[in-house]
Chains A and B, each alone.
Chain A
């Protein structure tokens, strides 16, 4: 039966379905186990988005890169550099919030452009190029300032702290105050990015060529697709999204310092893989990556609600999940291969 379902859905959607089912199962388990601790509250669910808005943006960009068969491990350092630049420009140079944001986004685009040119046109391994990018961005962050810079810019803080209340799903807390669930603008940015990239990948020529390039570069070339240009565009877009993720991340922490967002890129890759993206390229879905992020967030929430487990268990569970999905993917790939052979 499972095979029938898989054949109908295709490998792409089948992996996505598993991720979504897993997330829902975990979440329901959480609601049951921690029912006395208010796990079922709508705000707990929204907190997954609030706390991980930056990661959603980064994971969406990462998914796109992974679909082309590439990788970008400079994202975490880019996030740190963006935060630091924002803080430094606004606090030490007294540049307004909006010009500062535009500047960092432009820097993201330029960063992506350079990496993309090296990867697409000089055919250097994406891992090596972005490894260099990772060291460069982290180094630059320290050069800008080794101190912690706190953002005090009013416009910025106003956006960062602008609570958007939802008119439903509220609860009365212990002190008898009705509290409505809320989100921050960062969540809206994350969702918009997700929708736009989802649309691009599904419904545009550019999106389809991304899948084609990742599926089989040779045949994409033979089909007359401009492989190099597609790759370049993907890395530029990802550079932009990395900077945007940095801005969103900064809305949460409102400060810049060197050690920020270490290992962020790995979390983004893990989210994408759990969401059903294949590292070999050609298969993936940004919606899956969203659920990958949400699963990570749910595990973290589990652990804080449990209260005595070491928070390092998050990493161990993520590791188990990654193994599970990789094995599942390889099974799917091998059966697909077999079917192709037999026909």
Chain B
């Protein structure tokens, strides 16, 4: 009996052992396979003149290797950002992407960057988990002569030569766009000279999205003397808090014309609150959100929301553009904003299918 038990345990142990080795094998096999393929390709058509085959081989060697240290996969926005890189940096475009998911841990990103340096990647792209603590490891990258491009969040370093460029959204412009769209919309409705009362559901106070969007709206507001900002309160970027704050707004003010929610989720909360108060969101009260997530398009199609200002996660093409410029030896702008659109409800139905996040 005991011998049987022991044999069973041994068997289990060996199975685990094998399964473990199995994990590390696929990598080996795939490299082998790709190699086979390349040799096949060159062998397949011997009629082709040799120089062409050679350029093909050279093309494989000349791939620009890009290491991307991503934050993680915590939101739809982040996933869309990852996919944008994975679809841009493909072999057909002349790139090889080494992707690392840091699982929201800075120490993992630091490790990944050190490994990128040893692999001698041509470029490192970093979407930092936090703003601090990058001096040491980016110093190592600089010493190794590998340019670093930042995506999404900024870093807090004293020496800004540690990165060549930053790519991200322009929150202030998003705020400006929001006001401009509202002005146009009101004009269309013939309400441009009416007294307009606005409330704002702010994001988490101090976050860069909140600071930028609030400032952007504020800047443009002075152009419209007949508009009044009745109140601003934080809904902390969540639907439930947005609903709560909107309920209290509806109790305090009886003539609200416009709600600006600094992200779509809070706008959804506001829609619920307005419906509960017996009003028609989108008709009685104009609702504008930010981010332009998929659900916002659905709300716009349902007629509950009027507009959403995009916060574009598709950084891949812009980063590729920067890399191409650097490859040609050109200088690039340090701060680069991605293009961001404004999506009014009228266009929602036709655009929803093209939205990737």
Please state if B130 and A148 are interface contacts (CB–CB under 8 Å): yes
Please state if B23 and A317 are interface contacts (CB–CB under 8 Å): yes
| Whole-angstrom CA separation of A229 from B333 in the bound complex | 64
| Whole-angstrom CA separation of A249 from B158 in the bound complex | 21
Please state if B13 and A177 are interface contacts (CB–CB under 8 Å): no
Given A38-B120, A47-B114, A338-B2, A321:B20 Cβ within 8 A: yes
Please state if A51 and B10 are interface contacts (CB–CB under 8 Å): no
Please state if B133 and A254 are interface contacts (CB–CB under 8 Å): yes
Other-chain residue from A26, A252, A305 in contact with B107 (beta carbon distance below 8 A): A252
Please state if A157 and B114 are interface contacts (CB–CB under 8 Å): no
Please state if A331 and B135 are interface contacts (CB–CB under 8 Å): no
Using Cβ atoms and an 8 Å threshold, which residues of chain A touch B317?
none
Using Cβ atoms and an 8 Å threshold, which residues of chain B touch A26?
24
* A27 shortest CB reach to chain B, Å: 11
| Whole-angstrom CA separation of A306 from B5 in the bound complex | 39
Please state if A50 and B114 are interface contacts (CB–CB under 8 Å): yes
The stretch among B36-44, B138-146, B265-273, B292-300 that forms the contact with chain A is: B138-146
Tier of interface size on chain A: 35 or more
Assess whether A218 is interfacial by the CB under 8 Å rule: no
Assess whether B357 is interfacial by the CB under 8 Å rule: no
Main secondary structure of the interface of A (DSSP, over half): helix
Given A44-B118, A311-B101, A312-B101, A320:B2 Cβ within 8 A: no
The stretch among B92-100, B169-177, B192-200 that forms the contact with chain A is: B92-100
Please state if B97 and A307 are interface contacts (CB–CB under 8 Å): yes
* A272 shortest CB reach to chain B, Å: 19
Q: How many residues of B contact A (CB 8 A)?
A: 50
Please state if B13 and A328 are interface contacts (CB–CB under 8 Å): yes
Please state if A37 and B13 are interface contacts (CB–CB under 8 Å): no
Main secondary structure of the interface of B (DSSP, over half): helix
| Whole-angstrom CA separation of A307 from B119 in the bound complex | 11
Interface string of A244-270 (1 = CB under 8 A from B): 000001001111010111100000000
Max count, chain A CB within 10 A of own CB: residue among B97, B101, B111: B111
The stretch among A8-16, A94-102, A235-243, A296-304 that forms the contact with chain B is: A296-304
Please state if B111 and A300 are interface contacts (CB–CB under 8 Å): yes
* Cβ-closest chain A residue relative to B14: A324
Assess whether A308 is interfacial by the CB under 8 Å rule: yes
* Cβ-closest chain B residue relative to A147: B206
Q: Which of B40-84 contact A (CB under 8 A)?
A: none
Assess whether A132 is interfacial by the CB under 8 Å rule: no
Other-chain residue from B9, B107, B119 in contact with A38 (beta carbon distance below 8 A): B119
| Whole-angstrom CA separation of A261 from B12 in the bound complex | 33
Other-chain residue from B2, B23, B115 in contact with A47 (beta carbon distance below 8 A): B115
Assess whether B252 is interfacial by the CB under 8 Å rule: no
Please state if B118 and A43 are interface contacts (CB–CB under 8 Å): yes
Using Cβ atoms and an 8 Å threshold, which residues of chain B touch A41?
118
Q: Which of B2-25 contact A (CB under 8 A)?
A: 2, 5-6, 9-10, 12-13, 16-17, 19-20, 23-24
Using Cβ atoms and an 8 Å threshold, which residues of chain B touch A304?
98, 100, 111-112, 115-116, 119
| Whole-angstrom CA separation of A245 from B63 in the bound complex | 41
Given A307-B98, A308-B99, A324:B136 Cβ within 8 A: no
Using Cβ atoms and an 8 Å threshold, which residues of chain B touch A328?
13
| Whole-angstrom CA separation of A150 from B130 in the bound complex | 10
Assess whether B351 is interfacial by the CB under 8 Å rule: no
Using Cβ atoms and an 8 Å threshold, which residues of chain A touch B116?
304
* Cβ-closest chain B residue relative to A334: B6
Other-chain residue from B24, B111, B156 in contact with A302 (beta carbon distance below 8 A): B24
Q: Which of A16-72 contact B (CB under 8 A)?
A: 26, 29, 33, 37-39, 41, 43-44, 47, 50-51
Please state if A179 and B144 are interface contacts (CB–CB under 8 Å): yes
Other-chain residue from B16, B23, B110, B118 in contact with A324 (beta carbon distance below 8 A): B16
| Whole-angstrom CA separation of A302 from B100 in the bound complex | 11
| Whole-angstrom CA separation of A128 from B136 in the bound complex | 38
Given A150-B132, A174-B145, A310-B101, A253:B118 Cβ within 8 A: no
Assess whether A316 is interfacial by the CB under 8 Å rule: yes
* Cβ-closest chain B residue relative to A307: B98
| Whole-angstrom CA separation of A297 from B157 in the bound complex | 27
| Whole-angstrom CA separation of A41 from B43 in the bound complex | 34
Using Cβ atoms and an 8 Å threshold, which residues of chain A touch B16?
320, 323-324, 327
* A66 shortest CB reach to chain B, Å: 21
Please state if A252 and B110 are interface contacts (CB–CB under 8 Å): yes
* A263 shortest CB reach to chain B, Å: 9
Assess whether A175 is interfacial by the CB under 8 Å rule: yes
* Cβ-closest chain A residue relative to B20: A320
Other-chain residue from B2, B24, B133, B143 in contact with A253 (beta carbon distance below 8 A): B133
| Whole-angstrom CA separation of A152 from B133 in the bound complex | 9
| Whole-angstrom CA separation of A317 from B24 in the bound complex | 9
Knowing that A47-B114, A50-B114 touch, tell me 12 more A-B residue pairs with CB under 8 angstroms.
A33-B28, A47-B111, A47-B118, A51-B111, A150-B133, A161-B135, A173-B120, A179-B144, A252-B107, A254-B132, A320-B19, A334-B2
**Chain A to chain B: the 7 pairs with minimum beta-carbon distance, closest first:** A150-B132, A255-B132, A307-B98, A304-B115, A253-B133, A255-B133, A51-B111
Binding site for A on B (CB under 8 A): 2, 5-6, 9-10, 12-13, 16-17, 19-20, 23-24, 27-28, 31, 96-108, 110-112, 114-116, 118-120, 130-133, 135-136, 139, 143-145, 156, 158
